[in-house]
Amino acid sequence: MIARENPARSGELVGCVPATEPAAVDSAVRRADDAFREWSKIPITERITALLGAAGAVSARSEELATLLARESGKPLADCRGEIGFAVAFLRWVCDRAPITLAPTEIDDAAGRLVVRRKPYGVVGCITPWNAPVILALLKLGPALVAGNTVVLKPSPLAPLAITEIVSLLPAVQVVHGGAETGRALVGHPLVRKVAFTGGDAAGREIAATAGAMTTPSVLELGGNDPAVFLPDFALADADYERLVMASFATSGQVCMAAKRLYVPRARVAEFTEAYVAAAERILVVGDPLDPRVTMGPVISAGAAARIRALLAASAGGTAVPLGRNAPGHDPLSGYFVTPRLVVGLDDDAPLVAAEQFGPLVPLLVYDDEEEVLTRANASELGLGASVWSADEERAFALADRLEAGFVFVNTHNRTGMSLRAPFGGIKRSGYGREYGEEGLLEYVHPAVVHAPAAFRPGGTGMAAGAYPG
């Protein structure tokens, strides 16, 4: 069994799930492959009806599921409600867009007749992380299922409970539980026809290698070290600073697309720092995730807390400014709590700047001119997200076009800048493929072509055996 503790009260057991041995992974994949024969034959309208029914069932249990998610993940209850609601909204959006996006296209003209159909792959193997276990699973399950695939899902053992409950309400999904060995058995199975993964770049490289050995196509959404660039004319009200603080510290900073490097012009750094610290004092409240006053809970595990503290200790030369406040009565020793901090005075090669911190620490970095900050922002091997902040939207878009990132926010960052219609994913070592938008739907189908060239249709002139098409 896999037992899950409450990271806010580390002695409290939240629940357990059965561990899946590699042989049982084989059985789950084979069940999914058998189910694919029937599920893929069902008209898309009927698949949509089934998925909309599941969305309604999840919504009806949202409070129960949000509480379970808060207890197993350490995310504040309001965030958990928001995540589940957003996942339901995404599933409904997928159902709305799928008939148009996945419809076949046909051309019948003087050049011939060409039909392109978008067909499901078969069994999709999905491996998802613990930091947003519901939405990051539904981003894969929704498009895969509506397109006619079946799914075998392996959630993270650090947050398996709420998503397992949700998946029980969905059609055509098998769930397996375990660590790396279970994941390898899933990704390397010969009946898995597509792989979708969200997580760290080290695990992503292993998954890509395993899938590549099987010539299985994959979608990988990996880590990020997102720069937030404030141009000299930035104009932020108090509410903007509060939104910026949460762009770094939501989910205790354990978000791939969090604002992880703040680049501020030298002439305005004192003003920025004062306003940022004041905003954090107003909005950042640390404590038990079930306390309605709390906006930041613990990190996911004791190991995560130790890694984050070691990263701070290794970043010599900086000054760490504590942010926010504890909720009344909160005991920081009750779980895996790490004090949120703004770290100033670091060089670009400090570990906290060069690496993805994935925790409640964010460095503030000073720059002098636009070309300099562009070079420094692009220096990372990761290229998931970035943001540009400016009173001049055209200037912001111009700089955004030169940033090496798959998704650039303007005057916001993290989830407040997302859109269901906007494809999201990384470049460089942040992965490949896209989620959200029509591109996210199309990841789960392959084009199947039927073509009758005009030369070989009735009345056609034919072509010589060695001829090239005109």
**Which residues have a catalytic role annotated?**
221, 256
Q: Tell the residue number behind the tokens 């609601």, with chain if given.
A: 85
Contacts of 123 (CB under 8 A, 6+ apart): 29, 32, 33, 36, 149, 150, 151, 152, 189, 191, 192, 193, 194
State the first-to-last Cα distance of the chain, in angstroms, to the nearest integer.
Answer: 63
Sort strands 218-221 and 227-230 into parallel, antiparallel or unpaired.
Answer: unpaired
* E-strand stretches of 150-251: 150-154, 173-175, 192-198, 218-221, 227-230
Residue 424 CA to residue 437 CA, distance in Å, equals 8
| Sheet strand arrangement including 112-120 | 105-109, 112-120, 445-453
Residue 54 CA to residue 166 CA, distance in Å, equals 9
Contacts of 12 (CB under 8 A, 6+ apart): 5, 6, 71
Instruction: Answer for the pair 406, 425: CB distance below 8 angstroms, yes or no.
Output: yes
Judged by DSSP in three states, 235 sits in: coil
Amino acid at 270: A
- DSSP labels, 430-441: TEES-BSHHHHH
Instruction: Answer for the pair 388, 410: CB distance below 8 angstroms, yes or no.
Output: yes
DSSP for residue 172: S
Contacts of 15 (CB under 8 A, 6+ apart): 3, 4, 68, 72, 161
Q: What's the CA angle centered on 129, arms 141 and 72, to 5 degrees?
A: 105
Question: What values do phi and psi take at 131, rounded to 5?
Answer: -75, -30
How many C-beta neighbours within 10 Å does residue 317 have? Answer: 9
What token pair was written down for 49?
A: 């009806």
